[in-house]
Amino acid sequence: MGDKAAKFLDPQRARNLVELAEQALAELAEFAGTTVRYDATALQLLDEWIEREPSPPHALQVLWTAFLGEMFRRHYGGEWIVHGTDEEEIAVLCPTETGGVRRVDVAAQVARRIANGVSDSLALFYLYEGAALRRPEDL
């Protein structure tokens, strides 16, 4: 990949991302007019939200990244990390069924979703990546 090694986020920055994810959850609930959870339905709603924001400001992109990352963190026992040459690419490091770890590049995926539209759906990305992270007992 050519980038520097990943580093775990300090606890305060990780908490900030969790708080942003909670803010996104509340905004998704308002958007949907119903209770929203950290699930596939929420990601479909997030895809719709992104579709309505053709040129989102950076702060909104971070909000969406935090929500997507929190989905992986909660469902697969992941940890927030940063990587890249400037160590600003937000990702989640998740365990795999084979005992290794897999970096899920949530910030990069949000950027692809914004640039490419629904063909880079966050809901589909979550399903695809999740399949690689599932442990045999989860099947």
Residue 56 lies in a domain: yes
Residue 107 lies in a domain: yes
For residues 15 and 17, give the distance between their C-alpha atoms in angstroms, rounded to a whole number. 5
For the residues 78-87, what does the mean pLDDT come to?
86
State pLDDT tens for residues 27-37. Answer: 999 999 999 99
Residue 42 lies in a domain: yes
Q: Is the pLDDT of residue 2 over 90?
A: no
Residue 139 lies in a domain: no
Q: What pLDDT is recorded for position 138?
A: 52
User: What is the pTM assigned to this prediction?
Assistant: 0.92
List all residues 6 or more positions away from 20 whose beta carbon is below 8 Å from its beta carbon: 62, 63, 66, 67
Residue 48 lies in a domain: yes
- CA-based torsion, 12, 14, 19, 24: positive or negative: positive
Number of domains within the chain? 1
Q: Is the pLDDT of residue 18 over 90?
A: yes
Q: Is the pLDDT of residue 136 over 50?
A: no
Q: Is the pLDDT of residue 139 over 50?
A: no
Which pLDDT band holds residue 38 (cuts at 50, 70, 90)?
very high
Residue 94 lies in a domain: yes
Full residue range of the structural domain in which residue 97 is found: 7-134
Residue 47 lies in a domain: yes
* CATH code, domain with 63: 1.20.120
